Amino acid sequence: MRRTLALLPLLVACTAERDPAFDRARVVTGPVPLKDQVAYVDGALDRVVVVDVATPPAVRAIPIGRAPIWASPTRDRDRLLVITRGEEALARGQVDEEPHLWNVDVAPGGAAPVAYEIGSPFDRIAVSDDGTLAIAHFSASGPDAEGFFRNPNELAFVDLTRPPGPDNPVLKTLRSFSSTPEAIVLSPPMAIPGAEDPTPRVLAFVLAQNRITVVDATHPTRDEVTIRLDQAGASVRPREVVFAPNTATAYVRSDGARDVLEVVIGADEVAPDNPSANDYRPVLAELGAGGGPADIAVYDDVTGRRFVLAATPGTREVVVIDADTAEFTRVATPDPIDRIVLFPADSDEPARKAVLASIGSQLSRVHVLELEGIDEDLIPRAVESIEVGEPVMAIEPVPGRELAMLVHDDQRTVLGLLDVAYGSVSPLQGVGRLDDYAFTPGGDFLVAATPDLARLGFLQLDNLHPTDLRLDDVPARVFALPGGSIFVDHGDPLGRATLIPSAEATRDDSVVLSGFLLAGMLED
């Protein structure tokens, strides 16, 4: 195993003033896995440190603003979005700096980071699937020690395709009805049927207790629309939203709701004397599925039709909803289902099967539902039950495969591998608790780690052949990157990682990178 010291040569110099950076609390956010890199955000040195996993590996430091407090990658993982609190000048060497959202291109030779002044120290980011829009917002944790007042209903809408300007970002405070936002879900681009503007737009669904607020994120200066969920008297908390973009429809799973909620976005007349008026109107309906949903999943069949599956444990049914027509079919289940997993998972192929489980009841069986032709009356809709021998506490699908890892205890020491196609279960035995794991691209290998053992475990999923690789230090996190490399972070505040070229690589092929979080610090 080759070892590389990433700390650049030390320079000794005298300075008249102590840099304020040396007095800041050093909080490192990360590692954040990206496409072919792994990023760390250094809260004392105000920079993003990017480790390229190429051969040989490279380390780059990208300066950003003061006091980073949150980081999130875009969906394609080509960029990292970082929120910085900024700094009030209190001592010599400091300058006033407002909170910003930084759009960081992590590719080698990429563009310089772009800073958007967002006005408030938001601590969460919602990003559209296409990476063009971001909404900075507050979490539900309440004000931190460095703030005084904060407006939990304030949002900052950022168009990441345009440079900063007077209209980018757009700051907006939502109307409040005694509740504050708990989550924001962005829709895929959707055209609103009947609207004068046929251009697809992204809608933001802001979830709060007893409320859903719909905001046109593409045109954030327009008025939002708030939907009440508690008109029947019960307290309702929306938890999950899935979309049918062909019909501009959203399906909502909520705690306390009697049924699956359907939100249809339709065109509305625009008042000519109101420049901030929106051109849509959401219509809320209950689908009549028969019970409060515990889990929902969405998939497209081979013809491109979208279906929503909703588990209603109170009625022991799974409801299959045609997202384009809102027609639904009930499928009886032997157990109160509260978990739905589609297979193949994370694949461009249409889903063919759904695995159903009762996690809350911790039953020792799962059920498989065939999805092909599920809406045809002549095809039986019975589920196939599979006894797995141990209580099922979690189902972790293997990307791109009809395989799933079953977790049978809280410590993740008793595991099984479910072959969905054949209905078989193979027990997996290990030497310790599975604290972190990753599946390689294509689902060929399971890579497992425990912080008590300086090794990685590899399981070839085609034939369940196990191997392991000895490490120099115990692992803290393990990532399987899209390019096939495996990145092991060892939790060292100075930066220490093992880079493994592939799951088939040997110890001699691997590289240990040390001190990369200090690279260039003394020169600065």
326 confidence band (pLDDT: 50, 70, 90): confident
Tell me phi and psi for residue 335, to 5 degrees. -125, 165
Q: What is the pLDDT of residue 293?
A: 87
What does the pLDDT look like over 196-206, one tens digit per residue?
A: 888 999 999 99
Report d(CA 406, CA 423) in Å as an integer: 13
Provide the token pair at 246.
């062909």
Sorted by where each begins, the domain ranges of the chain are 180-286, 312-429
Q: What is the pLDDT of residue 240?
A: 92
Report d(CA 479, CA 238) in Å as an integer: 32
What does the pLDDT look like over 201-237, one tens digit per residue?
A: 999 999 999 999 999 999 999 999 999 887 666 788 9
What does the pLDDT look like over 288-304, one tens digit per residue?
A: 666 788 999 988 888 88
In sequence order, what DSSP letters do the residues of 484-524 get, joined into one string?
Answer: S-EEEE---TT-EEEEES-TT--GGG-EEEESGGGTTTTT-
3-class SS of residue 226:
strand
3-class SS of residue 163:
coil
Report d(CA 48, CA 444) in Å as an integer: 32
What does the pLDDT look like over 170-206, one tens digit per residue?
A: 999 998 766 788 999 999 999 999 988 889 999 999 9
8 confidence band (pLDDT: 50, 70, 90): very low
pLDDT above 70 covers what percent of the chain? 89
In sequence order, what DSSP letters do the residues of 106-161 get, joined into one string?
Answer: -STTPPPPEEEE-SS---EEEE-TTSSEEEEE--TT---TT-S---TTEEEEEETT
CATH no. for 312-429: 2.130.10.10
What does the pLDDT look like over 462-473, one tens digit per residue?
A: 999 999 999 999
3-state helix, strand, coil in the chain (%, to 5): 5, 45, 55
How far is residue 334 CA from its own chain's centroid?
Answer: 32
Provide the token pair at 297.
């999943």
- As to burial, measured by CB atoms within 10 angstroms (0-12 exposed, 13-18 middle, 19+ buried), residue 186 is buried
Residues 496 and 513 sit within 8 Å (Cβ to Cβ): yes
Tell me the whole-structure pTM to 2 decimals. 0.89
How far is residue 277 CA from its own chain's centroid?
Answer: 32
201: which DSSP letter?
B
Residues 89 and 111 sit within 8 Å (Cβ to Cβ): no
Q: Report the candidate in 294, 342, 298, 296 with the shortest Cα–Cα distance to residue 316.
A: 294
Report d(CA 68, CA 84) in Å as an integer: 4
pLDDT higher than 50, residue 10:
no
What does the pLDDT look like over 328-341, one tens digit per residue?
A: 888 999 999 999 99
